[in-house]
């Protein structure tokens, strides 16, 4: 097979044959694609050939280089290059696939871009998941670390309020109490936002009196802003239903944040809460709440951003207003309750938030309370409390001092101490927290539930903890705890939970 025979295989002159010496000198070329002068060094035509020139002497089998961009004397093509040896002669074949590569390049590029986009999306999803897990872990730890000392502070404040105080001391204490309650509310808001984003926040469906919620809100804001130039007015329809069925805690949380936001934006004038009800079929009603103020108002370009997380409104280069969580939690909780919220505002004249929430109507029913007659002798109920910190021990002792329920407490300083005491005498209830220096509370619960004595194994166990994440509460209850009490809690809440567990 000679060069003439090879040339006969060329179709439409899209293949160029070049014969070279062992040293890379051009012996002959048909110049079908590019002009290669006889006697010239192959490397002088293009840098690519300099790289393959040194392969020629040791060539033992065909070598192919696909998709090579070659530009020689102004002629640019995309070619495949093949080197081979035949009858002790060395040949270079150039295959012109310019049209093929140019046609396929967009498809390849599209495929590559699609693959890159797919991998990028998967990476971004993993990154978002990692961020979400970190955020939830951070919120859980922050929540726990703040709630424990906050529980102590509010507990001692409550004890202090029961002592004899003069008027000035009493008013100062009320401010401290409300500040502590506000911190607790902010913690609840942060945790609720995390729960809503993960879809684990649940809503209650219980009977409640709307009047009680509104009265408490009115008392709070009138007291808090009594020294300001802003007044609060509450306006309701005469035929407004009194008793509903729904989630009173979430409703209170929404209205509290809206009113707090209104007072913060208003320096002088009025904050108003208007309420009306529209009866719906199947004994339901659509409640409409309008919270209006005569404050600074919201610029038109800012109004669509106010429900975003951590967004703070800036007006006239003044310090940002608001805490950034209030309106975000309002929107999320409104959607949770299957309601809607909208806002209208005019700069310098005020803002109105319109809240619409569906509730089930319920007739007011008063429970008749009866007091069992007896001998008047109160039987003491022994409660074992596991707590190693002296400040917490003191709080428990003062909380249970001279209580009307007849509860008598004993303190265990560790998990091992608990196990020692419960095997010596009976207790009506065990109050524990999440962790101890010598043992995890879940291990402690397990040992108690596996005790040989039925009386010990069936003893009510109340877990009080600042770890209020829903997953942790489930873990505690599934391990054998009888009930979970989130911190911070009031004396009334503690005694009410104990009363439920001690029969």
Q: Are residues 452 and 394 in the same domain?
A: yes
Q: Are residues 244 and 345 in the same domain?
A: yes
Q: Are residues 331 and 385 in the same domain?
A: no
CATH label of the domain that carries residue 256 = 3.30.565.10
Rounded distance between C-alpha atoms, residue 413 and residue 465, angstroms: 17
Last residue of a domain, one of 80, 96, 112: 96
Q: Are residues 295 and 343 in the same domain?
A: yes
Give me the domain span that covers residue 259: 206-361
Q: Are strands 381-386 and 429-432 parallel, antiparallel or unpaired?
A: parallel
Reported in sequence order, the residue ranges of 21-74 that DSSP labels E, i.e. its strands, are 26-29, 63-72
Q: Are residues 167 and 137 in the same domain?
A: yes
Q: Using alpha carbons, select from 312, 273, 302, 301 the residue that is nearest to residue 289.
A: 273
CATH label of the domain that carries residue 45 = 3.30.450.20
Q: Are residues 106 and 170 in the same domain?
A: yes
Q: Using alpha carbons, select from 216, 338, 365, 359 the residue that is nearest to residue 277.
A: 359
Asked whether the beta carbons of 334 and 340 are under 8 A apart, the reply is yes
Last residue of a domain, one of 176, 198, 220: 198
User: Which DSSP string corresponds to 418-455?
Assistant: HHHHHTTS--SEEEE-SB-SS-BHHHHHHHHHT-SSHH
Q: Are residues 295 and 409 in the same domain?
A: no
Q: How many Å from the N-terminal Cα to the C-terminal Cα in the chain?
A: 107
Q: Are residues 401 and 491 in the same domain?
A: yes
Asked whether the beta carbons of 287 and 357 are under 8 A apart, the reply is yes
133: its two tokens: 């897990």
Asked whether the beta carbons of 221 and 259 are under 8 A apart, the reply is yes
Last residue of a domain, one of 198, 218, 242: 198
Residue by residue, pLDDT tens for the chain (503 residues) are 444 444 444 444 488 899 999 888 999 998 888 889 999 998 888 888 887 888 888 887 888 888 888 888 888 888 888 988 888 888 999 988 887 777 766 655 566 666 666 666 777 777 766 666 666 666 666 666 777 788 878 888 888 888 888 888 888 887 787 777 777 766 666 666 555 555 556 678 888 888 888 888 888 888 888 888 999 999 988 778 888 999 888 898 899 889 988 998 898 999 999 999 998 888 899 999 999 999 888 888 777 778 765 445 444 434 434 444 568 778 888 988 999 999 999 888 899 999 999 999 976 454 444 444 444 444 568 999 999 988 888 888 888 887 888 889 999 999 999 999 999 989 999 999 988 999 999 999 999 999 999 999 999 999 998 776 666 778 888 899 999 988 888 888 899 999 989 86
Q: Are residues 441 and 335 in the same domain?
A: no
Q: Are residues 115 and 66 in the same domain?
A: no
Number of domains the chain is built from: 4
pTM: 0.45
Q: Are residues 224 and 357 in the same domain?
A: yes
pLDDT at position 190: 63
Residue 283 domain-assigned (yes or no): yes
Q: Are residues 392 and 458 in the same domain?
A: yes
């Amino acid at each position: 097979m000679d060069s003439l025979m090879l040339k006969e295989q060329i179709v439409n002159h899209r293949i160029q044959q070049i014969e070279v010496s062992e040293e890379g000198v051009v012996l002959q070329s048909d110049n079908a694609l590019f002009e290669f002068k006889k006697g010239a060094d192959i490397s002088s035509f293009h840098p690519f050939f300099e790289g393959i020139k040194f392969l020629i002497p040791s060539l033992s089998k065909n070598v192919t280089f696909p998709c090579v961009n070659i530009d020689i004397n102004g002629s640019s093509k995309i070619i495949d290059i093949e080197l081979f040896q035949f009858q002790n002669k060395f040949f270079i074949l150039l295959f012109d696939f310019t049209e093929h590569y140019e046609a396929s390049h967009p498809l390849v590029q599209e495929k590559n871009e699609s693959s890159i986009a797919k991998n990028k999306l998967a990476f971004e999803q993993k990154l978002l998941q990692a961020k979400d897990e970190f955020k939830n872990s951070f919120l859980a730890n922050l929540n726990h670390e703040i709630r424990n000392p906050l529980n102590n502070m509010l507990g001692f404040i409550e004890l202090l309020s029961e002592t004899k105080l003069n008027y000035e001391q009493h008013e100062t204490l009320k401010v401290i109490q409300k500040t502590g309650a506000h911190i607790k509310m902010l913690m609840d808001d942060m945790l609720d936002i995390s729960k809503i984003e993960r879809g684990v926040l649940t809503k209650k469906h219980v009977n409640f009196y709307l009047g009680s919620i509104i009265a408490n809100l009115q008392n709070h804001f009138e007291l808090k802003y009594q020294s300001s130039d802003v007044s609060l007015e509450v306006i309701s329809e005469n035929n407004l239903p009194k008793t509903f069925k729904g989630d009173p805690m979430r409703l209170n949380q929404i209205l509290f944040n809206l009113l707090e936001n209104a007072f913060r934006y208003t320096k002088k004038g009025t904050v108003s809460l208007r309420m009306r009800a529209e009866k719906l079929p199947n004994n339901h009603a659509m409640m409409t709440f309008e919270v209006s103020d005569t404050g600074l108002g919201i610029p038109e370009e800012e109004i669509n951003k106010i429900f975003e997380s951590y967004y703070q409104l800036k007006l006239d280069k003044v310090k940002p207003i608001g805490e950034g969580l209030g309106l975000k939690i309002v929107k999320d909780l409104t959607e949770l309750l299957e309601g809607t919220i909208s806002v209208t505002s005019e700069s310098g004249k005020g803002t109105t938030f319109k809240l619409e929430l569906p509730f089930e109507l319920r007739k007011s029913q008063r429970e008749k309370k009866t007091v069992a007659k007896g001998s008047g002798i109160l039987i003491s109920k022994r409660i074992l409390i596991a707590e190693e910190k002296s400040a917490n021990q003191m709080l428990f002792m003062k909380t249970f001092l001279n209580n009307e329920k007849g509860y008598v407490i004993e303190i265990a300083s560790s998990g091992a101490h608990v196990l020692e005491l419960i095997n010596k005498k009976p207790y009506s209830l065990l109050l524990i927290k999440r962790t101890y220096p010598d043992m995890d509370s879940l291990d402690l619960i397990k040992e108690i539930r596996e005790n040989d004595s039925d009386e010990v194994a069936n003893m009510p166990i109340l877990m009080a903890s600042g770890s209020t994440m829903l997953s942790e509460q489930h873990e505690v209850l599934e391990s054998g705890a009888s009930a979970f009490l989130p911190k911070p809690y009031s004396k009334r809440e503690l005694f009410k939970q104990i009363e439920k567990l001690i029969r």
